[in-house]
């Protein structure tokens, strides 16, 4: 189990470093005020209109970095620090979330795949490790213990797949956002540089999560299949 604790500690450390760097970047670029004076909400609404999307609402949601697009009710949810603010960080986040709305409107394949996996992942996140632990306790050398552990491993693999499918979804949304911000001259060169850097660090949080999920999957896979021998 020592290897497990070392792995968890390493993943947590890397995640914390990236998360802190992301917060630092957003704090930095929140000080770069947009020359056009547009708020995050106004930027989101303009990007939606420019893409011919008129059935999506832009609303404010409590918290920090709680921004997201909800495909169920077609809403772009912007945190309080983005909805009303008029800076490079707010522009980046607002445009990124609209990027997801554009993906939805254009039936972007990876977004569809991720949406289809949501029900499975909601189950796997709750039960995968319990099944793995249960199988190991029962003993994977025995038939029952092995199959219980493998069931947990399969659910864990689905969650890992979900995290990797999330990567192209997030990177594509950022690319759409940055292209629109640049092509429509929404931001200046300095503002664009800040928006780009902020979104890069946001994407890295998803990359760390995906690699962490893969590392855990490999670790438990080796534990289960190794003990089977």
User: pLDDT digit string (tens) for 31-45?
Assistant: 999 999 999 999 999
- 89 in Cβ contact with 26 (< 8 Å): yes
196 close to 127: Cβ distance less than 8 angstroms: no
Q: How far is CA 187 from CA 44, 47, 228, in A?
A: 13, 13, 58
What does the DSSP assignment read for 9-44?
HHHHHHHHHHHHHHHHHHHHHTTSB-TT---HHHHH
Neighbouring C-beta atoms of residue 182, cutoff 10 Å: 14
Q: What is residue 149's predicted lDDT score, i.e. its pLDDT?
A: 85
pLDDT of residue 46: 98
Of 149, 171, 152, 148, nearest in space to 160 by CA: 152
Q: What is the pLDDT of residues 114-155, one digit of tens each?
A: 999 998 888 888 888 888 888 877 776 667 888 888 888 999
Segment 7-12 long-range contacts (CB within 8 Å, at least 24 positions apart): 7/215, 7/216, 7/219, 11/208, 11/212, 11/215, 11/216
Main-chain phi, psi angles of 197, to 5 degrees: -65, -40
The pLDDT score that the predictor gives to residue 69 is 96
How far, in Å, CA of 85 to CA of 3, rounded?
45
pLDDT of 162 above 80: yes
**pLDDT score at 148:** 87
Average pLDDT over residues 191-199: 94
3-state helix, strand, coil in the chain (%, to 5): 75, 5, 20
The predicted structure's pLDDT at residue 59: 97
Q: Annotate 103-121 with b (16+ C-beta within 10 A) or e (fewer).
A: bbbeebebbeebeebeeeb
Q: What's residue 227's pLDDT?
A: 62
Nearest to 80 by CA among 70, 93, 98: 93
Structure tokens at 48: 């939606």
The residues, ordered by sequence, that sit 6+ positions from 228 with a Cβ below 8 Å of its Cβ are 140, 141, 146
Average pLDDT, the chain: 91
Residues identified as active-site: 97
């Amino acid at each position: 189990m020592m290897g497990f604790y070392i792995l968890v500690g390493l993943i947590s450390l890397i995640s914390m470093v990236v998360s802190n760097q992301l917060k630092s970047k957003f704090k930095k670029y929140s000080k770069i005020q947009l020359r056009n004076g547009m708020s995050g909400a106004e930027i989101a609404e303009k990007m939606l209109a420019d893409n011919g999307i008129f059935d999506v609402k832009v609303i404010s949601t409590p918290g920090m970095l709680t921004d997201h697009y909800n495909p169920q009710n077609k809403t772009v949810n912007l945190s309080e620090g983005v909805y009303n603010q008029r800076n490079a960080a707010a522009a980046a986040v607002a445009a990124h979330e609209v990027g997801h709305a554009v993906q939805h409107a254009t039936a972007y394949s990876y977004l569809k795949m991720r949406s289809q996996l949501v029900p499975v992942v909601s189950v796997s996140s709750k039960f995968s490790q319990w099944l793995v632990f249960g199988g190991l306790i029962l003993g994977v050398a025995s038939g029952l213990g092995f199959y219980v552990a493998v069931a947990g491993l399969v659910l864990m693999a689905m969650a890992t797949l979900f995290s990797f499918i999330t990567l192209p979804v997030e990177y594509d949304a950022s690319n759409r956002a940055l292209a629109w911000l640049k092509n429509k001259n929404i931001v200046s060169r300095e503002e664009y540089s800040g928006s780009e850097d902020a979104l890069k660090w946001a994407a890295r949080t998803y990359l760390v999560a995906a690699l962490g999920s893969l590392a855990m999957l490999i670790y438990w896979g080796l534990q289960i299949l190794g003990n089977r021998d």
